[in-house]
A and B are shown apart, each in its own frame.
Chain A
């Protein structure tokens, strides 16, 4: 099955700096890669996603890049703010048949210091 590795497990940055979280996946058939933000005690919320037919996607301060050859994808947050502090999960979904399930990375605890 799919295996998703996520690094780093914790990341601390100063407000205004950029933050980068990296993930690798094992199943070359995966073609959907979402990122979720989970604040303490709350549900994971989709913040951005990318499909394998594009290499980069941007939404305001958040961007995701995908390298299918290397099987890795990254989340970039620019001009970080304290409210960006949360656990971020990457995920990958294989594309075979009706298999739409997501496999998650272990998460990155991002702390943005004021």
Chain B
């Protein structure tokens, strides 16, 4: 009964080939987040949606985009993945100021 579901768990993409990661939730939380976590590092926020409002972090590369077509789904698009984009990508949700619920993550490999 996973509440925040990320697909796929593992994704291999070619250098420069666009890739999309998906996240869905059954919690009806109004806030959804995308974090990038590299090995042995803290999760780093890329952007988040508060309801339909998109909030980009100042240091998030232009290569990263996001879409939230409805409350339940959120997508992370990487337009031209580079080797430095290999990481675990974590989706999380919250209801306003509540605690986060994380998905299991998608581990992205760029070859």
Contact = CB atoms under 8 A, between A and B. Distances in A.
Given A43-B90, A43-B103, A100 B97 contact: yes
B42 A104 contact: yes
B87 interface: no
B61 interface: no
Given A43-B90, A102-B100, A107 B45 contact: no
Interface string A72-96: 0000000000000000010001010
Interface residues of B, number: 23
B102 A100 contact: no
A49 B96 contact: no
B40 A107 contact: yes
Contacts of B50: 98, 100
Nearest to B101: A46
A75 B56 CA distance: 30
A42 B97 contact: no
Interface string B12-50: 000000000000000000010100000011111100101
B94 interface: yes
A34 B96 contact: no
Contacts of B103: 43
A55 to B, nearest CB: 19
A101 B100 CA distance: 9
Interface of A: 32, 34, 36, 42-46, 49, 89, 93, 95, 98-107
